[in-house]
Chains A and B, each alone.
Chain A
Amino acid sequence: MAASSPPMIRSAAFAALLAALLALPLLGVRLVDSATGLSLSGRPELVAWAAGGVFCGRLMIDLFRRWLADYAIRLPVLPAPPDWTRFGVGWAMALFALVLPFLPFADRNLVDKATMVLIYIMLGWGLNIVVGLAGLLDLGFVAFYAVGAYSYALLSLTFGLSFWICLPLAGLFAAAFGLALGFPVLRLRGDYLAIVTLGFGEIIRIILQNWQDLTGGPIGISGIERPSLFGLSFKAVPPEGQISFAAFFGLDYSPDHRVIFLYFLILILALATNLFTLRIRRLPVGRAWEALREDEIACRSLGINPTTIKLSAFALGAMFAGFAGSFFATRQGFISPESFTFIESAMILAIVVLGGMGSQIGIVLAALLLVGLPEWFRDLQMYRMLAFGAAMVLIMLWKPSGLLSSRSPTVRLGGRA
């Protein structure tokens, strides 16, 4: 044991040295902007902290690894759960989601955060069709989310249409955008497709930002109509000709009603997305998506036209993003291009990939990890994105094929799966 200690300390010292070098110009010195111009102030203590932290961290990881090796313990590996457990876990999660707002510890804050997580779950499920099933790497998914949000906002403000009419329209618009954007680019191979979709995402955002007359530019659109439940308003003072939800059910007015209503709305939308995906996986289109992901040339030799199949995945994924977008607009009541940056696309993609490419439950877990956890650390706002990025790297290093990566067949001999 003692014999192997020096190399371990040496490697930790090397890591610490590197950390000090990396930190020196960026942490060790701070650029101070004053009236007389830029000046520098030194912070050597931060470099020391960085080096010390890395030294201890590296040593601890090495010791932990050796401890594992000595005791022949493997790092915990999630075993592929049998199908019935997965099925059961899915139902348990759905049930929990249904009763969540009525649980004793559920306050308005919690339901609000759960709503946020559900939006990302829905977006993840939508993108999963494109990336997880069809294997098309889309880095501009947020564009369709934006199209959905702006379609709802504009349709509702311009024509006074209700949320329930705008919702399908927003989905259709987003799907149409998916078709229009997808048609020219879906021939491209994987990485190129990624970068072109990223470009499209940025183009849409730049247009939203600069087409002042339509989109309000960087200021965005505010005063977006809030949804009602079959004409029952959630406002304290319902508009002319409408009854308030509280009055109809003989309750005292509470702003919580709307929060809970929105929660259920997104829950239903997300579950619908999930059911749709589960179902379509067993249908010819869904199987063709997966086959295309596995081997495009073989698909062509079997008479499958890759373009139509890819387009259908792209358009359907976009449609769900459009639904989610119009929900986002109605929940916030305000939208601006700032909500539709690349970081959102990255976040959704990370959820899909970390979840395990194609696994619906994996996506829920990943969304809880990546969106839910940081939401609780809102106070540490500054460090939130840093932690998010680090989590992306660490989870990939730990499980390169995602949290839940096993796949069950969509059809079995002698009966449907």
Chain B
Amino acid sequence: MRPPPLLEVHGLTMRFGGLSAISELSFVAGQGEITAVIGPNGAGKTTLFNCITGFYRPQTGRLVLHHPDGKALGLETLPDHAIARKARVARTFQNIRLFPRMSVLENLMVAQHQVLMSASVFSLAGLLGLGRYRRAERAAIDLARHWLDRTGLTSFADSEAGALPYGHQRRLEIARAMCTRPLLLCLDEPAAGLNPRESSDLNQLLCGIRDEEGIGLLLIEHDMSVVMGISDRVLVLDHGCLIAEGSPDEVRRNPTVIRAYLGEPDESAVVLGGEG
């Protein structure tokens, strides 16, 4: 029994020069599900994210995002900032992209730019100090505080984002993405560089986001403990093609996947470590 679709990808192809990074890729990610995208380096995972979030324009294919109210948006026609704003897709980056010289709280306030902007009528109401803006700002701070609490960063709220330890920066990036109130959250290797404890905290955080917010998550990850532990569905990419999809258990048992990605059964342990 599949949940209603959130993101439908049909026949997506992305070429760089003569090189196909993704060819004829189709899949569906469901609402309220964690969908993991795995595959060896260079399989096209980050390219897929860049197509979904509008940083790349695919040559062919359709990307449809379904809103709960029945509205469907074609992401391939929207510029990147409109995808974030109108389609409500948020993302994090493989190499963390915070606003390093701004404070943690400011990072979260920038994420709520749209809400604050319309509340302040392009900042005019704010300039005049009208109550309407002050209320909106208070609400924004409350939402930021909520996500700071969830990610355990409350005590760092006023420090510079760039000065935080690496693991905290990763969590801050997720908090910042959540402050845009997304329907689909795309996470590009959120567990990279985390120690086992931080990694299990991350699992909890992501499950919490799925269960409490009811939004869909799309996750690129090499850390199999994260992938197998929390995802509802797993997509396996190799050379830009989808070679398998299904529940974590199905994928784990799929012979194609084992051959292409996890390696031959008897040497899987070695390759698993090597590919991470």
Of B82, B100, B102, which contacts A409 at CB under 8 A? B102
B46 within 8 A of partner (CB): no
List of A residues within 8 angstroms of B103 by Cβ:
409, 411-412
The residue on B at minimum CB distance from A410 is B106
A179 within 8 A of partner (CB): no
The secondary-structure label for the interface of chain A is helix
Of B101, B123, B133, which contacts A286 at CB under 8 A? B123
B145 within 8 A of partner (CB): yes
One of A89-97, A287-295, A380-388 at the interface: A287-295
List of B residues within 8 angstroms of A304 by Cβ:
81, 110, 113
A38 within 8 A of partner (CB): no
List of A residues within 8 angstroms of B126 by Cβ:
279, 282-284
Q: Would B116 and A284 count as touching, CB distance under 8 A?
A: yes
Of B79, B102, B113, which contacts A294 at CB under 8 A? B102
B180 within 8 A of partner (CB): yes
Of B90, B107, B122, B148, which contacts A301 at CB under 8 A? B90
A306 within 8 A of partner (CB): yes
Chain B interface size, under 10 / 10 to 19 / 20 to 34 / 35 or more = 35 or more
One of B3-11, B59-67, B91-99, B237-245 at the interface: B91-99
The residue on B at minimum CB distance from A306 is B81
Interface positions, chain A 270-310, Cβ under 8 Å from B, are 276, 279-280, 282-288, 290-291, 294-295, 297-306
Cα-based distance from A291 to B101 in the complex (angstroms):
9
Cα-based distance from A15 to B247 in the complex (angstroms):
73
A80 within 8 A of partner (CB): no
Q: How far is the CB of A146 from chain B (nearest CB, A)?
A: 27
Q: How far is the CB of A164 from chain B (nearest CB, A)?
A: 22
Interface positions, chain B 109-156, Cβ under 8 Å from A, are 109-111, 113-114, 116-117, 120, 122-123, 126-127, 133, 137, 141, 144-145, 148, 154
Centre residue among B80, B154, B180 by max chain A CB count within 10 A: B80
A413 within 8 A of partner (CB): yes
Q: Would B85 and A411 count as touching, CB distance under 8 A?
A: no
Q: How far is the CB of B127 from chain A (nearest CB, A)?
A: 6
Q: Would B106 and A303 count as touching, CB distance under 8 A?
A: no
B105 within 8 A of partner (CB): yes
Q: How far is the CB of A386 from chain B (nearest CB, A)?
A: 35
A187 within 8 A of partner (CB): no
Cα-based distance from A364 to B83 in the complex (angstroms):
42
A407 within 8 A of partner (CB): yes
Q: Would A413 and B101 count as touching, CB distance under 8 A?
A: no
B157 within 8 A of partner (CB): yes
Known contacts A298-B97, A303-B84; is-contact A288 B120 (Cβ 8 Å): no
The residue on B at minimum CB distance from A307 is B81
Cα-based distance from A284 to B120 in the complex (angstroms):
8
Known contacts A302-B90, A304-B113, A409-B158; is-contact A280 B84 (Cβ 8 Å): no
The residue on B at minimum CB distance from A279 is B127
Known contacts A285-B123, A294-B100, A413-B141; is-contact A301 B106 (Cβ 8 Å): no
The residue on A at minimum CB distance from B118 is A284
Q: Would A413 and B105 count as touching, CB distance under 8 A?
A: yes
Of B133, B137, B154, which contacts A413 at CB under 8 A? B154
Q: Would B110 and A303 count as touching, CB distance under 8 A?
A: no
Q: Would B97 and A297 count as touching, CB distance under 8 A?
A: yes
Of A284, A407, A413, which contacts B117 at CB under 8 A? A284
B55 within 8 A of partner (CB): yes
Interface positions, chain A 289-345, Cβ under 8 Å from B, are 290-291, 294-295, 297-306, 312
The residue on A at minimum CB distance from B122 is A285
Q: Would B127 and A300 count as touching, CB distance under 8 A?
A: no
Centre residue among B97, B110, B122 by max chain A CB count within 10 A: B110
Known contacts A303-B81, A407-B101, A409-B158; is-contact A283 B123 (Cβ 8 Å): yes
A-B contact pairs, 14 of them (CB 8 A): A280-B123, A291-B99, A295-B98, A295-B99, A297-B97, A302-B110, A305-B82, A411-B103, A411-B106, A411-B141, A412-B158, A413-B154, A413-B157, A413-B158
**Chain A residues near B (Cβ < 8 Å):** 276, 279-280, 282-288, 290-291, 294-295, 297-306, 312, 407, 409-413
